Structure formats: structure tokens, C-alpha cells
Structure 1
Amino acid sequence: MKRFISLLTLLLSLQQVFAQTAPASSIANVEQDLKKLNVLGSVLYVAAHPDDENTRLLAYLAQERHYRTGYLSLTRGDGGQNLIGTEQAELLGAIRTQELLAARRTDGAEQFFSRANDFGFSKGPDETLKIWDREKVLSDVVWVIRNFRPDVMICRFPTTGEGGHGHHTSSAILAQEAFTAAADPKRFPEQLKYVQPWQVKRLLWNTFNFGSVNTTDPSQLKLDVGGYNPYLGKSYGEIAAESRSNHKTQGFGSARQRGQAFEYFKTILGDAPQTDLMDGINTGWKRVPGGNEIEANLSVISKTFDAANPQHSVAPLVKLLGMVEKVSDVYWRNQKATQLKNLIAECAGLWFESYCNAPAYAKGDNVDVSTQMIVRSDAPVTLTSVSYKGDADKADGHENLAPNILKTVNQNIKATELTQPYWLKYPHGMAMYNTGYLDSIGNEAQKTLPQNIPPAMQAVFTIAGKPITYNVPIQYKYVDPARGEIYQPIIVAPVVTANIVSKDYIFNTTQPQSVQVKLKAFTKASGSISLKPVNGWKVSPQSIAFSDKNKGDEWTAVFTVSPADGPITSILEAVVNANGEKSSLGFEQIHYEHIPTITLFPPAQAKLVNIDLKTAGKKIGYIAGAGDLVPDALQQIGYEVHQLTENEIVNDDLSKYDAIVTGVRAYNVNQRLAFEQPRLMEYVKNGGNLVVQYNNNVGVLVNPGPYPFSVVNQRVTDENAAVTFAEPSSPLLNYPNKITSKDFDGWIQERGLYFATNIDAKYSAPLLMNDPGEAPNKGSLITTDYGKGRFVYTSLAFFRELPAGVPGAYRLFINLLSNPKK
């Protein structure tokens, strides 16, 4: 039982652990938090992806009704597209995780995930639940329910398919199964060491009216969530827009909405509500033993609260905390005690933070940490102790804090664990992340959380005679000349990291290639770098030594790799031996201003691919779209790739380019292409070769081809779907590489997306493909001669396949770039 209580205490206090500094202390926050203290209700919203959540409803539930409100997204959105950069797969998932956290900081809800990986678009739940480990994802949903203990669960989507995406429907199916399983002690009994079974009162479906699909009905329960919150100075439609606009990788900037707005609900399981989501549920203090006295005291505190002197409420709040800490209901005791502690700090004007003086450290290094605090009132506050992980032997403190005098406590701690996102620590497949969380209680507590539990100092203050403990996350703080004071997560890295410069090395001759490895020291280091032997491949030298490298030093080691005989794909891995420890991890950072810097330590690996590859032409002009890595892939195999500007498109001689390629979704995101299009058509007419990669069907600025065709939301999601050569003699399938069915082996995530339809007869379509049970689709690749040149439009997912080193994708894409001389 002690272990169960300690874990629950940790989980319930995580909202504060993730706080940047002390709780915000504006009078509006205090007034809101006083209202939240009086509400003992919780709602969990469940869907599949970042952006699926109803931010207006979440804001209303959290800020108007004051329920503890959570959003469980089964995935981190890893399989989508990125409108602001080139990150894909788990890197995109890491960004979208932080975008969701930014959204939750805006609307006031909390965020959770399962281990499910977003493997891309799925046409139905049968495919989704076959690819995911259904039982493991269900166990994660049950784990969240048993921890969060929602009174009400709400699904964004139904089980009947109106949500379209197979992940959407699967989220509703799993929510229904978890509704029952969470209350059953025979289901996932291993969890009962830490949590208890929980029966949710009801499961509702938040029906919707999206485009042509309207699932709302006047007979359904409806709530007006369009109200205005005077404490926040915003309506819930305004808050929702600000929350949703954090989804920048998806281009979901939203207009603020004001005025009446209804949400509709259909009962799926449990008692059907008649007038309100919480019908039949006691959401006041009377739901717990001893709650009447707490409610009476809280009522007095609220009525006597003096906005000009909030410190006058500190002593009554401290007395109330003592009463709450005696509540027998562990869940609400810990939840409300955490809220009360924050409220006491707000009213006392108690501010604190912990920071280090460098952004990064090596594992095992000593870290100098400064913990600062100030009391901006005359409330009686004494610093009792400051320590790391509650280590009493290394605690400093025992000092009265004078009003408005900044106090700093300097300490030294040891960096013990890499700050790799926990779900990326272990290798994983396309379906599920391997969180490895059963090896310790710390990891057990961490699973389903949005990010790592950060290292924190433990500050104990005696306030109005009572010791109160706060966990203060340790961060790196610095001043940017343009942006001012910036907080970033602390980085704990291997002693030396190794990044192989290219993700793929494509060999199409017997000639060796140079492989560069960029190394970075995070502390003073000596040692060596080597590449693991790979069967059939020759690597020299065996290792390269380094010595006396200082923290922050970066240098490059160069190896020569000669290819194995015949077509083969192998994995090359770099191994660093530094200061007596081995590591095979790289160093990668993702920087965007709207989220904290993300630091990862990916495997120090690259793919070696020896294929029969012929090329024609040399110079490629590239027009950027929403962001992809195709230019890097083309440069890797020897093409000269130049990123074209509008001035060059309009005024330069484009005939010097053997092909011009548009990046993915270029005609969706680059408004200037509508004006540049005549020049591109002139380039084709005069003998050029224009290759247009996929665009979606929303907001195509101009038809990219010389003859009409349309783009629709049709896909082939099965990466192993059979491909038929409808026109075997097409140059696209023969020059300079003879394309066969083997060239479609080993594709990842999907064949293609947003296929062409309503195709003019002047186009030829050399390929046919389809998902199981569907008719053959000819829209993945179309081409036509126009004047002396050639136009190609392709919906094939080259933007995924080329960075992944798929041999056949390289051979086919080179054919698209290579127009035979007539």
C-alpha cells in the first residue's frame, strides 16, 4: 500500500512538476483556483491524434466547470506531414507532443498518451488494431483511467466509422472496452500494485458536424460552451482558438470565436444524463468523508478573500490544508492538497525556481544548481530546506525569508540519467513504442505521460507554521538578445556523441565512399571512434583515436567504406569509447520558437544500400513545399540540387536544369506558384522535365499540369499493396532503370496519398495499385508530353521512401527525373 500511495502522490503532483517556475500569482489565477478547490469532478477526453481534441470543450470543462480535465491521445501524431519543417516519424511525434503540451497550457487540461505509434493513415479499425498491439494499447487506456479516475469519459469519434480514419474509430472502440476493463480487477491485474480498479459513471460521444458529416441531433444532450470567463478575459471560443493554433506542424492556426456555441453528446455506456454531463455525480466536497467541514471553511475563505491583500488568506488556507491532508480518499486528498499548496504560494507571493548555468552536461557530471526564492508579501514564510530528491544530508535552508528580498541557495548535484524522451529510449517497430517502463517504479509512474519527469529540487517552506513541500524542476535559463529570458529543459548526454553525417549511403558502383562522423564532447574526454564491422563491407581505418577533448568540442572523423557484392542493404553503426564507457548514440536537437527545444540521442546509425542504379542528367532545380528531405537524398547519389527562388524561376534560364521538382504540397503552401506557373509550363514546353510531388485536395492554388486533373483524398495505405504495370513500355518504367515489381519491395508506411483523378485523356498512367478490397487506382503516377518536354505528377510517397533508403524508390524517382532524348 505504501508503494501505491507514493506512486499516486507522484502522479497527482505532476502538473506542478512540469510547471516552469512557481505557480502564477495574479489575482485572476487566485480567484480561478479558489473556485477549482471547491469542485471534485473529473472528465477524460479520448481520441487518436494531436488535433483530434475539442479544445473549446476542454477549456469549458477545465476553466468554467473547474473539473480536472484530461486529453488522452492514443498516438503522438508521428505519421502525419510537417508543414513547418522536414522532421518525420518519431521526430514529428516529439514536436507534436510539445505542441499538445502548449495547447494544454492554454486551455487548462492535462495530456496523456498510449504507446501506440501513428503509422500513417488507416482506412479502418480492423487494419489499425491488427497493426497496433491491441491489448497493450487497451492496457494503457485502462492505466490512464485508473490513475485519472474520471467521472465521465468523452470520445471524439464513434465506433461506426463516421470519423473516417481507422485510428479515430479504433480510439472509440478501445475507450468502450476500457470503460468496462478499468473496473474489472481481473483485467490487467499487474497494475493493481500501483492503482485500483475504477468505474467511470458514463461514456459519451461528443457528436460533430464536420463538412458533409453531421452526427448531431436535437434529441442529444447539448451544452452551450461559448461563454465568457471574466477572470481570464476571454471566451472559451477564444481560448480554444489559441490552444488549437499551437498545432503549427499541421497548419491549424484558428480564428477566435465568440458567442453562443453548442456541443452535443450521445450516451454510449453507463447512465444517460438528462440535463448535464455530471447528472447523478456529486462533484462537491460532500463526495468525501469530512468534506462538509472543508466546504464550510472554504466558503468562508472565498467570501473573505481580499484581492488587495491576498496574503491575509494564507493562514486560513494553511489550516484548510491540514484538514484536507486528513481526508481518507487518497485520490482527492492528494489532488486537492496539491492545488492548495499552489494556492498558498500564490496568495503568499512566494516565487521560486531552480536553474543551472549550462545547457548540457555529460552523464556522471556534477551540476551546479541555483534555487532562487522570494516572498512578495508580509506572509510568514521560512525556508526550511532545499535538497535534491529530498536528500536530508545535503539540504540547505533554515532561514526566515524577509519580504521582497531574493534568496539564492547554491548546490551541486550529479547528472545520473540521459534526458532522452522515455518512449524513444528503446528500439521500436512501426506499430508501438517500447517504453520499457516495468523495470522501476519511476518508469512505471512515467508511462502514458507526455514527457519525462524532469529532475527537480525539493524546497520545503514553513508557511504560517506548517511545513509545505514544493518540487521545483531544474532548467537551463538564459537571456536571448531578441527574445529575452528563455527557459529550456536541462540536457544530460553521453560523454561523447556520434552523428553519421548521412542517414543513407547509396552505392551503385564498386567505388568506395567517405563516411563522415561528427563527434561532440559533453565533458573532458579521450577515447576512440570506430564503425562496427558489417558483413561484406570493408571499413577503414578500424578506429580513430581522440584525446583531451574539452566540453563543447566538435570534430569530424572520416572513414572509407567499400560496398559489398550485389544488391544488399546493411546497417552501419558508430561506436564511441570515451572515458572508459561505450556509447552508440547521436545528438539531435529540434528548435522551434513555439515549443521548448527538443533534444534526442538517436542511434548512431546509417543505412548502407548497394543497388543497381543508373542516373541520367545532373542538375536539379527544387521548389520548396511544406518541407521534405528529397533534396538531401538526391545530393547523396550525386545530383546537384539547387533550391529555386521566385526570382530565378521568373527571370533565369531554366533550361540548364535537367529536371525541376516541386516539394510535397508546394501548390498548397506556396502562394507564389500561381504566378510562377506560366514560366514552369514554358520550361516544359521548351524541353524541360517538371516533376510535381503530391498535393492534398484542400487549397490547391493552381492546376500544376498542362492539362486538367484533380487531386482527391484517395490513398493506398498498404505499403505492400500489389502494383500492376498498366503501361510496361512507359519511359518512366524503363529509363534509365528497368523497373520491376521488386522495386516496390520494402516501402514504408504507405504507397501513396492524395491520388489524381478526373485525369485528362492526354495523360498516361503507367501504374495501377489498390488496397485490399478496393478497385485498382491509376492516380499514383501520371505523365504527359507537352511541347518538347515532359510533365510528371506523382502521389507516391517518395518523401518518406527516399530518406528511408528504399532502393526501388530511388530507381523509380531517378526515372521521373530522366526524360529520354527524342
Structure 2
Amino acid sequence: IKEKIQNLDQLILNAMGFEAEFIIRKEIGFPGESIRSELILTNPTDLPVQNFSFAVADAQFPLDRAVQSNNASTLPINFTLSEIADYSQPYWLEKPIDGALYQVRNPTQIGDPFNQPFVAGNLSFQIDSESFSLDLPLMYKYNDQVDGEVKQPFVIVPEVDLELSSNQVFLVGGADPTLTVTVNFRDKFLEGDLYFEGISQDQFRVLSVEDIPSQKKRVFKVAFLPNGEGKKNLTATFATPEGKVYNLITKRISYKHIPNLTYFTPATIGLIQADWKLSGSKIGYIPGAGDDVPGILSSLGYQVTMIGEGDYSVDYLSQFKTIIVGIRAYNTNSDLANNQQAIMGYVRSGGNVIVQYNTSSPLLTSQLGPFPFTIGRDRVTVEGSPVVGEWSHPILTSPNQVTEEDFAGWVQERGLYFAEKIDPNYQTPLTMQDPDENASSGSLIVGKYGEGTYVYTGISFFRQLPAGVPGAIKLFVNLIEQ
């Protein structure tokens, strides 16, 4: 009944053309901030709307006038956000993701495309002695030169948030052990210290601190010290003397066809210390559909150069120890497909090429490697499924020994679009399979061609490397170092 009454009330207001807006001239606020907003009321009819009262954040704002005859009334609404106001985190991200599953605290929210408004007021009024009530979300309103009047939800963010120069730091010979942490202040600079949850204060050094007043930023450069092999997950944290702790990164998704979405992730870093052998050589990277592998390789100490149009002469390519082809490049990069002979000439002359997965259709060239193979539909979706390897194969022993233990802790999947109908000139050192499915040896194929080496792999390195999976990174280093 309550819902039907609300619908009838809204029908009456719509028929009258009555409008009420609760608006602000900025999109973002933080807990404890003083907010300056407006309530705008418009009634195009001669029937007076009166006895207004507006409530928001425990404050009441009466309006002792009637609104009628298309005369808009504007009431300043100044209030303060609670010091403990919730951030505008999407409900499906309030709790940590469990693998690939979102944990929703309130099951009644499941299916809602967006959160309920984080800041809203209640407007009550009378029309011809009948009482009405409207809940009004606070909206950021502005005029766009192309789209005209635009409204976006007002969101609450931390007063202080962080940015990281990298999500992975490697304590490996030749790698850069430093990290830049930028602390952003929404209001004024706050005194405080930076530390990392997961390690003690004596396991890193602050190399420099720089304030940038014009941008309200404080930039810390830190260096991590050796602290034992393996991977540690750290959280960068800025703490004030008053005990306030800030450790979130603010992220935004903005498209014209949906409301802007603001969300927050912990400022986590994967710190990996390992006794890996790697050369730090020059690597050429041919972009495909887009991935984050080049950044990880740079963090490992490799000198990564993106290869573009006009870079496909054998002389130019010969400067690189290895050329890596990004995911789906043969589906999307026509420059690569048109210069396939140059890539094969580079391999024949002693180069090393690693081709990451492509889909089987559409391919811009039918000959991906020096010897025939096709791209099938095989994939292994269980990230912890067993892997059988020829552990004495050079790919798995040089320069670092890869073992079955290196396939633990992978994320989301093993790989996809494995090779099929593989020419005998290729070797297949790994066999993978999902439970109760047929085994596939097409996840990694290796072939010698002339003086060089060619690799096609459907292994999901584009997922594993950004996630900081040590075993996958070690295997990829071996592929580079052939």
C-alpha cells in the first residue's frame, strides 16, 4: 500500500509538472566536510504548493512561502557530512572479492545496478491541504557544451587517498626495489607517516618526501630491503598523529551512457623476493588488444620498447633479445600481420619471439609461426588444476628451474586458446587439463627456427603477471631468456 501511495503521489506531481531538485556544484565530498548545496522548487500551475520542510543530515530547513505560477524558489542548504559517513563504495565491493565471486552483505541489494544515494534529503509539503513527501538525492549538476544539462550522483570519498607507482615490486637482481607512494589530500595537508602493513619499519627506507602544494600531494619514494624469499602482500598506509588511517586508492569509471561510478581498492603491493636469473636485456613489445605485461617486465629490470608502425625492419628488430607479441595481436594489429615475414626473419637470424594467445577467428594472417599449427578452443579454467611438465626441458630449466610447485597460487585460469594440429618441429613441454576433461599439450609450444626460438603460448600470463604470481613470472622470465 505504501508503494502504491507513493506512486499515486508521484503521478499527481508529474501531472502538475512540479519539480524539486537537491543539487550541488561539485561531484565529490569527504566525511566532515561542510557542504553548500541548493534546493530548487518549480511549480508551473496556479495551485499553490506550500508548508515546505526539508531535512538532511539531521538538519531542518523550513521554507515559509508558497510556490506557484512557474516561479522557481531556491533555498540554500548548508550542512556538514558526518565524520563517520560511509564512502560511496558500490555495494558489491564492500567486502573483499572471494576469488571471482562478489560477497554481498545484504542479499536484497543483489540485482540493483547502483547503490542507493549516499546523501539524500526529505522534502515534505502540502497541496490543497494534502500532504506529500519526496526523497531527493543530492546530485552534481552542470552544463556540458555538447550534452547540455547533466546530473551525476554526489559521492563521498576519503579525505586522504593514495596512488602507487606500481602494484608489484621485485627484489630480484637488476630490478628497481623502489616504489613511489603519492598521498592526495582533499582539503589541507595533514601531518602523518607512511608505513606498510605486512612488514616492519626496518624492512624499508623512505628515500625522499616532497610536498606539491598546488596539487595537494605529498610524494614518498621508498626502497624495500631484502626480507626473505617469497611473496608478501603489503598495504601502503598513511596514518596521522590523531590515529586516522588512510589506505585506499580512489578509482573512477566514467561513460556518458551510465552514471559515473566511484570505487575504492586497498593500496596493496605485491613484494616479491626471489633468486631468479635474468638479464635485464632490451625487449620489444608488439601491442595487441591491451595488457599490463610491459609494466611488469619493466619492474623486473627489462628495458621494454613498444614496437609500432615503421619498426619492422630486421635491422631494427635485431637490437632486441626477445620480442613479445601482446594478447590477440594477430586479431587486431594489421601492422604486425603485414610484417610477419620480418618477424620470422628476426627469429631465423637468432631472435626469440613469444606470441601470447590469439583467438581462432578472425586472424589477420593464417601463418603465425615458422611451422604450422592452428589455434583451437581448448582452455583450462580451473586455476589450481594439475600441470604435468617435462621438468628437464630447457624452457623449464634455463636459466631458472621451474617445478610443479610454481603452478600453485595462480588466478582465475591456467590458459585459453591452446594450439592444436601442432607440427612435429614444435615441442610441448607442458600438459594441462581441467577436472574430468581431456588433457591438452598445446598451452606452450616451442620451436627452433634457424638460429632463434619461437614460442606460442595460451597460458594466461596477461592475468598472472599483473597479479604477481611468482611461478608464472619465473616461467615467463625463462621464455624471455631463451
TM-score by length of 1: 0.53
* 1:574 paired to 2:213: no
Q: Is the 8 A contact 2:203 2:227 kept in 1?
A: no
- Residue 349 of structure 1 is matched in structure 2 by 17
Change (3 A) 1:403 1:716: same
Change (3 A) 1:721 1:463: same
Quote the Cα distance in structure 2 between the aligned partners of 1:759 and 1:706.
12
Quote the Cα distance in structure 2 between the aligned partners of 1:642 and 1:346.
60
Quote the Cα distance in structure 2 between the aligned partners of 1:803 and 1:337.
52
Quote the Cα distance in structure 2 between the aligned partners of 1:526 and 1:389.
29
- Residue 382 of structure 2 is matched in structure 1 by 718
Residue of 618, 637, 650 corresponding to 2:281: 618
- Residue 732 of structure 1 is matched in structure 2 by 395
Q: State how 1:7-156 maps to structure 2 within 5 Å.
A: none
Residue of 332, 349, 362 corresponding to 2:30: 362
CA shift for structure 1 position 755: 1.4
Residue of 37, 48, 66 corresponding to 1:400: 66
Amino acid at match of 1:470: L
Change (3 A) 1:474 1:575: same
* Bigger fraction of residues in helix: 1
Q: What do residues 165-192 of structure 1 show as CA deviations (whole Å, max 9, x unaligned)?
A: xxxxxxxxxxxxxxxxxxxxxxxxxxxx
Amino acid at match of 1:430: G
- Residue 782 of structure 1 is matched in structure 2 by 445
Q: State how 1:214-613 maps to structure 2 within 5 Å.
A: 330=1, 334=3, 336-375=4-43, 377-378=44-45, 380-382=47-49, 384-385=51-52, 387-389=54-56, 394-415=60-81, 416-430=85-99, 432-437=101-106, 446=109, 449-454=112-117, 455-463=119-127, 465-481=129-145, 484-509=148-173, 513-532=177-196, 534-535=198-199, 538-541=202-205, 553-565=216-228, 567-578=229-240, 580=242, 581-613=244-276
- Residue 24 of structure 1 is matched in structure 2 by none
Aligned residues between the structures: 476
Quote the Cα distance in structure 2 between the aligned partners of 1:370 and 1:471.
15
CA shift for structure 1 position 688: 2.5
Q: Is the 8 A contact 1:684 1:788 kept in 2?
A: yes
Gaps of 5+ in 1: 1-329, 438-443
Q: Is the 8 A contact 1:569 1:609 kept in 2?
A: yes
Quote the Cα distance in structure 1 between the aligned partners of 2:11 and 2:457.
58
Q: What do residues 596-615 of structure 1 show as CA deviations (whole Å, max 9, x unaligned)?
A: 33322211221111112221
Cα-Cα RMSD: 3.0
* 1:687 paired to 2:387: no
Quote the Cα distance in structure 2 between the aligned partners of 1:503 and 1:665.
24
Q: Which deviates the most, 457-466 or 703-712?
A: 457-466
CA shift for structure 1 position 760: 2.1
Quote the Cα distance in structure 1 between the aligned partners of 2:215 and 2:151.
20
Quote the Cα distance in structure 2 between the aligned partners of 1:701 and 1:462.
68
Amino acid at match of 2:232: S
Residue of 448, 466, 469 corresponding to 1:803: 466
Change (3 A) 1:784 1:370: same
Amino acid at match of 2:294: P
CA shift for structure 1 position 556: 0.8
Quote the Cα distance in structure 2 between the aligned partners of 1:674 and 1:403.
68
CA shift for structure 1 position 811: 1.0
Amino acid at match of 2:19: W
Q: Is the 8 A contact 2:123 2:133 kept in 1?
A: yes
CA shift for structure 1 position 714: 1.6
Change (3 A) 1:585 1:424: same
CA shift for structure 1 position 630: 0.8
Give the 3-state SS of the residue equivalent to 2:190 in structure 1: strand
Quote the Cα distance in structure 2 between the aligned partners of 1:404 and 1:752.
63
Q: Is the 8 A contact 2:170 2:176 kept in 1?
A: no
Change (3 A) 1:723 1:485: same
Quote the Cα distance in structure 1 between the aligned partners of 2:214 and 2:189.
8
CA shift for structure 1 position 551: 9.8
Give the 3-state SS of the residue equivalent to 1:586 in structure 2: strand
* 1:707 paired to 2:375: no
* 1:743 paired to 2:435: no
Change (3 A) 1:390 1:459: farther
Amino acid at match of 1:796: I
Give the 3-state SS of the residue equivalent to 1:417 in structure 2: coil
Amino acid at match of 1:399: R
CA shift for structure 1 position 520: 0.5
Amino acid at match of 1:387: F
Quote the Cα distance in structure 1 between the aligned partners of 2:343 and 2:194.
47
CA shift for structure 1 position 484: 4.6
